[in-house]
């Protein structure tokens, strides 16, 4: 592939995120800006999920476990010391008596996510298909259960609050773009290519000497690190977090975003997260009353979530392989500086004669 082309492939998703950040910081009221920051963090969460699910073709319900670990670790470690001793007296002394800057807590979140994913992945990555999906769901169940009840490592069933809200436009955008770059670098590396080959044809990949277990484990660990990091971004955006915020709903939502965008491309992950987030914001605001071309529309409270579900279904019905069709970003042909050869036919030409 020509150099210009990979550059475009990477630039497309980044440009979307930056555009969303710049446009919303300029033209959106400050009250609504946090919703757009939230959308950017969702891009981070979905991209982290994509690194494993998109490249391996194995559905994982477990990535939100790493988001949860990252979010809670990052949250617990950044609460100011004097208030932490008061609100979380049951913590292990190591956690209770130390604190760190928000930036370092993101590094910690990524590290813990990676370690947890690696340990879990060693046995689980031997599984494939439904067994892999359900066992990762079981991991999510265990993570949620332990985080909810073990008060030595976190707030237990109460809400963890007083977390410094350091995720502003800068941190959200820089963090998310960093995740996109890592995801892109990975999928173009030989490891990423091996895993994608195994996704398309496991038998052929194995015959070509690809160690599928090892490649899946690598992607799972990287995805765990990025998920933990994204969890750190998320918690510093929210300022407070409870365990059910990083459980099933988030799992289903991020998977839905990925599939709606197009499961097998990075661009799909970014487009899916942004599309669904924008619909959520739009429909959410229509509950407060919006004006479109002079018409005042006010939807009844609670309709927005129903609307988002309908939007997802409609997109899936119209484009079953996602908005991007699982393809990476490319410029329209007329804008390309170096014209490419003719596109390969997508379906084999019908055979003539017998």
Q: Does 256 bind other proteins (CB under 8 A)?
A: yes
Segment interacting with other proteins, rule: CB under 8 A, options 25-33, 91-99, 133-141, 215-223: 133-141
What span, in angstroms and rounded, lies between the C-alpha atoms of 27 and 33?
A: 9
- Closest contact distance (angstroms) between CB of 160 and other proteins is 17
Q: Which is nearer to other proteins, 87 or 313 (CB)?
A: 313
Of positions 95, 107, 115, 127, contacts other proteins by CB under 8 A: 127
188 touches other proteins by CB under 8 A:
no
Q: Is 51 exposed, middle or buried (CB count within 10 Å of its CB: 0-12, 13-18, 19+)?
A: buried
- Is the Cβ–Cβ distance between 18 and 177 less than 8 Å? yes
Nearer to other proteins by C-beta: 58 or 172?
A: 58
To other proteins, the closest distance from the beta carbon of 121 in angstroms equals 12
Q: Is 313 in the site for other proteins (CB under 8 A)?
A: yes
* Nearer to other proteins among residue 33 and residue 128 (C-beta): 128
Minimum CB distance to other proteins, residue 126 (Å):
7
Closer to other proteins by Cβ: residue 43 or 53: 53
CA nearest to 235, candidates 88, 83, 44, 22: 44
The closest of 246, 265, 249, 238 to 321, measured between CA atoms, is 265
Rounded-to-integer distance, Cα 334 and Cα 1, Å? 18
Q: Whole-angstrom Cα distance, residue 312 to residue 323? A: 11
Does 119 sit near other proteins (CB under 8 A)?
Answer: no
C-alpha to C-alpha distance for 88 and 62, rounded to whole angstroms: 27
Smallest separation, CB 207 to other proteins (Å) = 18
Crossing angle (nearest 10°) for helices 30-56 and 248-261: 70
According to the binding rule CB under 8 A, does residue 131 interact with other proteins?
A: yes
Which residues make Cβ contacts (< 8 Å) with residue 205, sequence separation at least 6? 194, 197, 198, 212
Residue 301 touches other proteins, criterion: CB under 8 A: yes
Q: Is the dihedral of CA 3, 180, 37, 287 positive or negative?
A: positive
**Quick check: 135 binds other proteins (CB under 8 A)?**
yes
Q: Is 1 in the site for other proteins (CB under 8 A)?
A: no
Which residue lies nearer to other proteins by CB, 320 or 341? 320
For residues 92 and 15, what is the distance between their CA atoms, to the nearest angstrom? Answer: 43
What is the binding site for other proteins (CB under 8 A)? 53, 59, 90, 123-124, 126-131, 133-135, 137-139, 141-142, 145-146, 148-152, 248, 252, 255-256, 259-260, 263, 300-303, 305-306, 308-310, 312-313, 316-317, 320-322
């Amino acid at each position: 592939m020509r150099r210009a082309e990979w550059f475009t492939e990477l630039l497309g998703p980044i440009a979307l995120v930056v555009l969303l950040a710049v446009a919303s910081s300029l033209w959106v009221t400050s009250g609504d800006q946090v919703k757009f920051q939230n959308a950017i963090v969702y891009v981070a969460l979905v991209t982290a999920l994509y690194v494993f699910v998109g490249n391996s073709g194995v559905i994982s319900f477990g990535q939100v476990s790493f988001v949860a670990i990252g979010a809670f670790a990052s949250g617990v470690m950044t609460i100011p010391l004097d208030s932490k001793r008061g609100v979380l007296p049951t913590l292990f002394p190591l956690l209770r008596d130390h604190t760190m800057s928000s930036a370092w807590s993101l590094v910690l979140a990524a590290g813990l996510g990676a370690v947890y994913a690696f340990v879990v992945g060693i046995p689980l990555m031997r599984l494939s298909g439904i067994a892999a999906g359900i066992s990762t769901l079981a991991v999510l169940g265990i993570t949620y259960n332990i985080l909810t009840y073990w008060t030595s490592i976190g707030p237990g069933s109460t809400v963890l609050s007083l977390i410094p809200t350091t995720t502003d436009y800068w941190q959200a955008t820089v963090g998310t773009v960093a995740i996109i770059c890592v995801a892109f670098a990975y999928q173009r590396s030989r490891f990423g290519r091996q895993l994608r080959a195994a996704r398309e044809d496991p038998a052929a990949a194995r015959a070509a000497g690809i160690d599928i277990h090892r490649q899946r484990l690598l992607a799972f660990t990287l995805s765990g690190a990025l998920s933990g990091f994204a969890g750190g971004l998320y918690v510093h955006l929210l300022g407070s977090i409870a365990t059910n915020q990083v459980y099933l709903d988030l799992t289903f939502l991020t998977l839905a975003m990925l599939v709606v965008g197009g499961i097998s491309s990075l661009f799909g992950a970014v487009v899916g997260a942004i599309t669904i987030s924008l619909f959520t914001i739009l429909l959410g605001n229509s509950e407060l009353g919006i004006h479109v071309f002079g018409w005042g529309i006010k939807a009844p409270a609670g309709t927005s979530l129903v609307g988002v579900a309908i939007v997802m279904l409609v997109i899936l019905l119209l484009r079953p392989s996602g908005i991007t069709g699982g393809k990476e970003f490319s410029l329209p042909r007329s804008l390309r500086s170096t014209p490419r050869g003719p596109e390969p036919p997508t379906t084999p030409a019908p055979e003539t004669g017998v």
